[in-house]
Amino acid sequence: MKSSILRQAVILALFALLPAAGEAIYFRDKISWRSAIAPSEMVTVEQARGLGDTVIWVDARPDEEFASDHVPGAILLNEDRWNELLPQFLAVWSPGKKVVVYCSSLSCNASREVVRRLRKEAQLSDVFVLEGGWEAWLKKNR
Amino acid sequence: MKETSNVQRPMLNTEPAAYPTLGVGRSSNIVRFLWRTLGLVVAAIFIFAGLTKILDLDHLIADLQQLQFANALADLRNVSLANPGEFARDIDNFKILPWPVSVALAFYVPWLEIFCALGLVFRFLYRGALSILSASIVVFTLAIIAAKVRGLDITCGCFGHASQHWSFPSHLATNLTILVALVALLFKATSEIRRQIPFNSR
Amino acid sequence: MKTPILAFTLSMIMCLGARAQLKWEQTTIELRPAPNDKQAIGHFKYENTGKTPIHFKSVHASCGCTTAQTQKEEVPPGDKGEITATFNIGDRTGSQVKTVTVETDEATNQKTVLTLKAEIPQQLEITPNFVFWKQGDKPDTKTINVKVGKDFTVKHIKVTSSTPDFEAKVEEAGKGEFKIDVKPQDTNKVVASMLTIQPEDSQKVFYATARITNAPQVQ
């Protein structure tokens, strides 16, 4: 009797896999399996460069790393001094601008957090994470 | 000695068409009706829970809550797929599982709920459905208790964003009620099967 | 010929028997810092249950906001110690997860990830914290919603604008919720104001920004 319940459960679990897999395929471009930021919220260095003068570069790294080197014209906005730095960023932003946020590398989480907060708290759209971060930018520009 | 012809072995994937023949009469019909209704109510809850995660029903639910049926009908015609990322984020907010597992569950759990609920409705793979739903309610309940203990202020996601304003006691009470119903149905189904297993023939 | 084989076999047996083992009391610590705390500190305790000393090759945190210190570089057999992970909260809010990766010279299990989870309480949740009008737009009222954190009680809030170009009015919007209606005098010139939001009986101050922006350039 126990194996009967188990067998029934396994059959149901397998049935449910089919539409779930179909849905996963349908949404493959809208949801990222790597991070909570959707693929539509990430840009590569080339894509960011293609946005031209409409881009505001935002550096989400700690103060010392920004001071050491950063994307030319980038604005510092990190969570250590969010309340102090946010108004300076907002003073530069205007509708139509695209914001590209980077931190040190692919594995760094700071840029995702900054993008999340700009989208949720300031309710800005067109805010993106730079895929690969500062490392990726350096590779393309040095 | 020959087996008596009216002894039946339990079927693996289907459930007995009728309840046990212990007493025929009005009271057993009423009892049977109540058990069946309970099963259908639980099934409806899980179908609703699954659909709120697969389809974007926020506007429809809001209109129904405000008794605006005309608007609700219009919403029904314009219903679209929900973004599974929202449910994945609800799961991720519990900070128990890695993000890829949250995404996988966001795709899988709603369909599992619906298939199990349909199993309750059509009494197909019935006990398997009950056991999966019971296990899932236990997991959801433990997760919201853990979140409460850790002070996380999160949406359970159990019924999509329809349940986002529920308080912790409401969530807990709802889940425990459903769990009690599921366990009762499972015990009932299991005891029916036991009664139908033949004794050794003499 | 037999001697090297014997020596090799003996050394393998000795290695197996002398396996170093760093046991952690817990690898995940959950903290609930108080609202005014600047740091959340986790103490990850360990013990060397093996028979040879263990050396820490590296201890590094997942972000610049977290630092990790070992009490000692070498842990003799039977010795205990701890790694202290200090998470500088800064202006972070909500659920935070920071990790510290520890590498040792153990034969097996060389890498351990220590996780520090912190739930940062937020007295006021302000959404949006930025309202704007484009130059030339109608100077309509825009609303900022303020929600009081569940561990706090705030009966009133006071809102002041840093410039007279914007007017801000506060209304209660239910239990633990407020609405701030912001209206510019006009939208002819590019101006900005810092809205200071202060809960009653609290020293802590929150901010929102109101701005008249340039109209977007036609591309």
Summarised one tens digit per residue, pLDDT across range B163-190 is 555 567 777 888 899 999 999 999 998 8
- CB contact under 8 Å between B150 and C150, yes or no, is no
Of C205, C198, C202, C209, the closest CA to residue C157 belongs to C198
- Chain C interface, Cβ < 8 Å to A: 62-65, 88, 90-92, 126-130, 132, 134, 192, 194, 207, 209, 211, 213-217, 219
Q: Name chain C's partners: 3 or more CB pairs within 8 A.
A: A, B
Mean pLDDT across the stretch B110-120? 95
From B20's Cα to the closest Cα of chain C, the distance in A is 52
Q: A12 at the C interface (CB within 8 A)?
A: no
Domain identity same for A5 and A55:
no
Chain A residue numbers with beta carbons less than 8 Å from the beta carbon of C88 are 80
Q: Which CATH architecture does the domain made up of C20-120 adopt?
A: Sandwich (2.60)
Q: Is the pLDDT of residue C182 over 90?
A: yes
Interface contact C90-A81, CB threshold 8 A? yes
Of the candidates C64, C91, C216, which has its C-beta nearest A95's C-beta? C216
Within this chain, do residues A23 and A57 fall inside the same structural domain, yes or no?
Answer: no
Residue B18 — φ and ψ, nearest 5°? -120, 160
Q: Are residues A43 and A25 in the same domain?
A: no
Note the pLDDT tens digit of each residue in C71-117: 888 999 999 999 999 999 999 988 888 889 898 988 776 788 888 88
pTM over 0.80: no
Beta strand C124-127 with C142-148 is antiparallel
Q: Which residue has the higher pLDDT, C214 or B63?
A: C214
C207 Cβ contact list (under 8 Å, min separation 6): A83, A86, A87, C129, C194, C195, C196, C197
pLDDT tens for residues B46-72?
Answer: 999 999 888 887 767 767 766 777 777
Of the pLDDT bands very low, low, confident and very high (cuts 50, 70, 90), residue B197 is low
Q: Which residues of A touch C91 (CB under 8 A)?
A: 79-84
For residue A129, is pLDDT > 50?
A: yes
Mean pLDDT of B96-109: 90
The full DSSP string for B121-182 is HHTBSHHHHHHHHHHHHHHHHHHHHHHHHTT------EEEETTTT--HHHHHHHHHHHHHHH
The pLDDT assigned to B2 comes to 45
Q: Residue by residue, what is the 3-state secondary structure of chain C?
A: CHHHHHHHHHHHHHHHHCCCCEEECCCEEEECCCCCCCEEEEEEEEEECCCCCEEEEEEEECCCCEEEEECCCEECCCCEEEEEEEEECCCCCEEEEEEEEEEECCCCCCEEEEEEEEEECCCEEEECCEEEEECCCCCCCEEEEEEECCCCCCCCEEEEECCCCEEEEEEECCCCEEEEEEEECCCCCCCEEEEEEEECCCCCCEEEEEEEECCCCCC
Q: Do the chains contact at C119 and B152, CB–CB below 8 Å?
A: yes
Same domain, A136 and A102: yes
Q: What is the pLDDT, as a whole number, of residue B46? A: 94
Gap from A37 CA to chain C (nearest CA, Å): 16
Please state the rounded mean pLDDT for residues B78-103: 82
Q: Give A79-110 pLDDT, tens digit per residue.
A: 999 999 999 999 999 998 999 999 987 667 88
Yes or no, beta carbons of B93 and C95 under 8 Å apart: yes
- Compute the distance between CA of residue C201 and CA of residue A15 in angstroms, rounded to an integer: 58
Select the more confidently predicted residue: C20 or B77.
B77
Res C16: pLDDT: 46
Do residues A23 and A79 both lie within one domain?
no
Chains touching chain B through at least 3 C-beta pairs below 8 angstroms are A, C
Pairwise pLDDT comparison (B8 vs B169), residue with the higher score: B169
Percent of chain B having pLDDT more than 70? 73
pLDDT above 90 for B127: yes
Say if C20-120 and C124-213 have the same CATH topology: yes
Q: Which of A38-42, B12-16, C50-54 has the lowest mean pLDDT?
A: B12-16
Range list of H helices, chain A: 2-26, 45-50, 63-68, 82-92, 110-120, 133-141
Whether residues A14 and A46 share a domain: the answer is no
Binning pLDDT at 50, 70 and 90, where does residue A115 land? very high
From the list A9, A11, A36, the residue facing B92 with the nearest CB is A36
B169 touches C at CB < 8 Å: no
Strand-pair category, A98-102 with A55-59: parallel
C92 touching B, CB under 8 A? no
Interior/surface letters B79-118, b for 16+ CB within 10 angstroms, e for the rest = eeebebbbbbbbbbbbbeeebeebbbbbbbbbbbbbbbbb
Q: Answer for the pair A104, A133: CB distance below 8 angstroms, yes or no.
A: yes
State pLDDT tens for residues C142-167. 999 999 987 788 889 999 999 999 99
Name the residue among C204, B15, C168, C63 with its Cα closest to residue A5: B15
Q: Kindly report, residue by residue over C189-207, the tens digit of the pLDDT.
A: 999 999 999 998 888 889 9
A121–C127 CB contact, under 8 Å: yes
Mean pLDDT throughout A2-19? 89
User: Looking at the partner chain, which of A90, A110, A123 has a beta carbon nearest the beta carbon of C63?
Assistant: A110
How much is the pLDDT for B5?
46
Do A110 and A83 lie in a common domain?
yes
pLDDT of residue C219: 44
Looking at chain A, which residue has its C-alpha nearest residue B192?
A1
Q: Is the dihedral of CA A24, A28, A30, A34 positive or negative?
A: positive
Whether A94 and A58 map to the same domain: the answer is yes
User: Quick check: B108 and A16 CB within 8 A?
Assistant: yes
- Cβ–Cβ of B93/C30 closer than 8 Å? no
Q: Which residue of B has its CA nearest to C118?
A: B150
CA–centroid distance for A11 within its chain: 38
Residue A24, domain extent = 1-30
Q: Which residue of A has its CA nearest to B11?
A: A4
- Decide if pLDDT at A16 tops 70: yes
Q: Which residues of C touch A113 (CB under 8 A)?
A: 92
**pLDDT at residue B113 in the model:** 94
Q: Which CATH architecture has domain C124-213?
A: Sandwich (2.60)
Residues A52 and A111 placed together within one structural domain of the fold: yes
The pLDDT assigned to C113 comes to: 86
Is-contact C90 A86, C-beta < 8 A?
A: no
**Residue given tokens 């809205």 in the structure block:** C195
Q: What average pLDDT does the segment C166-181 reach?
A: 92
Q: How far apart are alpha carbons C20 and C109 in whole angstroms?
A: 10
Q: What angle do CA C39, C43, C45 make, to 5 degrees?
A: 170
How many domains would you assign to chain A? 2
Q: Cβ distance C144 to C128 under 8 Å?
A: yes
The yes-or-no verdict on residue C9 having pLDDT over 70 is no
- Name which of C38, C62, C86, C91 to mutate to probe chain A: the one with the most chain A Cβ atoms within 10 A of its Cβ: C91
Cβ under 8 Å to C: A residues 70-129: 78-84, 86-87, 90-91, 93-96, 107-110, 113, 120-124
Do A49 and A109 belong together in one domain? yes
**Domain extents for chain C?**
20-120, 124-213
Residues of A in contact with B112 (CB under 8 A): 12-13, 16, 20
User: Does the structure show a pLDDT above 70 at A2?
Assistant: no
Contact B127 A5 (CB under 8 A): yes
User: Do A75 and A121 fall within a single domain?
Assistant: yes
CB atoms under 10 Å from CB of A40, counted, come to: 11
C97 inside 8 A of chain B by CB: yes
Token code pair at residue C50: 């093996």
Burial C177-196 (b: 16+ CB within 10 A, else e): ebebebebeebeeebbbbbe
Q: Is C158 on the interface with B (CB under 8 A)?
A: no
CB-nearest partner of A96 from C65, C127, C216: C216
Interface test with C, best of A53, A54, A84, A94 (most C CBs within 10 A): A94
Are A26 and A43 in the same domain? Answer: no
Higher-scoring residue by pLDDT: B123, B157: B123
Task: Kindly state the helix (H) or strand (E) to which residue B186 belongs, with its residue range.
Answer: helix B168-196
Mean pLDDT of A4-32: 90
Better pLDDT: B40 or C173: B40
